[in-house]
Amino acid sequence: MSWYQIIGHDKIKKILQNSIINNRISHAYCFIGIEGIGKDALAIQFAKVCNCEKPIIDDGFIDSCDKCHNCISIDNLAHPNLELIFSLPTGKSSDTKGDSAYDKLSSEQIEIIKDEIENKAKNHYLPLKIPNATQIKISSIRDVKQKLSLSSFNDKRRFVIVLKADEMNIEAENAFLKTLEEPQENITIILISSKPDSLLQTIISRCQQINFSPLDENKIVRKLILDNNSNEIDAKIAARFAQGSYLKALDFLDEENRVLRNEIVNLLRISLKKVKYREELVKNLKNFLKDKDKNQINKIMQMLIFWLNDVNIIKITGNSELIINSDDIQTIQKFFKGFGNKDIPKAINEIENYITMIYRNVNINLILISLFIKLRRIFID
Ligand SMILES: [Zn+2]
């Protein structure tokens, strides 16, 4: 990866580049922002540029060559000047002083961790998905401190990147605080977090804080198309759902979105039938809910909102190029002809109200029946 492959965050890239060029790199940073927007990727790139043997320098700009040994091994997350700290599962017994973070883990757990790091090496945006890894333990901090106390691999800068730093337990945080209080030459620590409120304020105040904004929707679309060969319609729908998170968009792309969207639009169609709608709605709803969890239902209801919003766009602008579900234009036009004179924003508002209920401890089947009956009243009565 080069700066160019990381989408958005142009100002932050500039700040980091300037710090390298002017030799004013901080000893500690805190990268803050929502999940899946490239904070890890940018931290790794920063470490790589600082370690590159032949960086590309041009008028206030510096980038990694991506060809030298250091670049390649940092990209592979396997360079001695790059230490990653992250949550690990609890071992068979609790850690005692002197144990390494990995001592109590089973060989299966260690294999999973290796695989996850390999995945992250291929795509720096990806999170590490290690089962039951909920805490960054003091032993992980100790391991890294131990390594940092040894002499450097070369004269370049060493980086410690703490992924999801808010997962440090209190002992780990206190141990870490000591490290921050005694900055070492040629070592930079980057804490990464989407939940800075869960970090000790004394830790954050010792770091240069860098705030990441959610990504621009169009930039997410372009990256999805470029990196995943996604078609434009799927990419646009995924990006709209992702609310600024590239990872969320990527996750969304994996599912059979169109099939799901058609299912929910079909339920709306059934609920607006002139006769015997109730029986058919109950039967189809049961099938629809069969293999879906609350998160999926939430997503699908959002899809229905976007779909109805497209009907409203046709109503207001008459311009079908502005809609998201452009593959479904015929059904949208048909719906507009039948129900375009009704209060579509009210229907959207109603769906939003019901979405908030999904996560309460309630019967989803009943909730959705009630929702569709409400929608029927808006569109028919
Ligand atoms: Zn290089």
72 CA to middle of ligand 1, Å?
7
Where exactly are the structural domains of the chain? Answer: 3-213, 255-379
| Residues 210 and 31 sit within 8 Å (Cβ to Cβ) | yes
> Which residues lie across from 63 on neighbouring strands?
56
69 CA to middle of ligand 1, Å?
7
3-state secondary structure of 127: coil
CATH superfamily of 3-213: P-loop containing nucleotide triphosphate hydrolases (3.40.50.300)
| pTM of structure | 0.80
22 CA to middle of ligand 1, Å?
19
Q: Maximum Cα–Cα distance for the chain, whole Å?
A: 80
pLDDT tens sequence across 216-255 = 999 999 999 998 888 888 898 888 878 899 998 988 886 6
Question: Using CA atoms, how far apart are residues 221 and 206, in angstroms rounded to an integer?
Answer: 36
Q: Please tell me the predicted confidence (pLDDT) of residue 95.
A: 57
How large is the average pLDDT for residues 83-93? 85
**Amino acid identity, residue 271?**
S
3 CA to middle of ligand 1, Å?
13
18 CA to middle of ligand 1, Å?
18
190 CA to middle of ligand 1, Å?
21
40 CA to middle of ligand 1, Å?
19
| Residues 225 and 235 sit within 8 Å (Cβ to Cβ) | yes
In the block, residue with structure tokens 């106390």: 149
CATH of 255-379 given 1.10.8, 1.20.272, 3.30.70, 2.30.29: 1.20.272
143 CA to middle of ligand 1, Å?
27
Give exposure, 126-147, as e/b (b: 16+ Cβ within 10 Å): bebebeebebbbbbbbbbbeee
71 CA to middle of ligand 1, Å?
4
Question: Using CA atoms, how far apart are residues 26 and 39, in angstroms rounded to an integer?
Answer: 17
- Asked if residue 106 has pLDDT above 70, the reply is yes
68 CA to middle of ligand 1, Å?
4
**In sequence order, which residues have a C-beta less than 8 Å from that of residue 106 and are 6 or more positions away?**
92
The kind and range of the H/E element at 209 are strand 208-211
Q: Lowest mean pLDDT of 75-84, 320-329, 340-349, name the range.
A: 320-329
1 CA to middle of ligand 1, Å?
11
58 CA to middle of ligand 1, Å?
15
3-state secondary structure of 273: coil
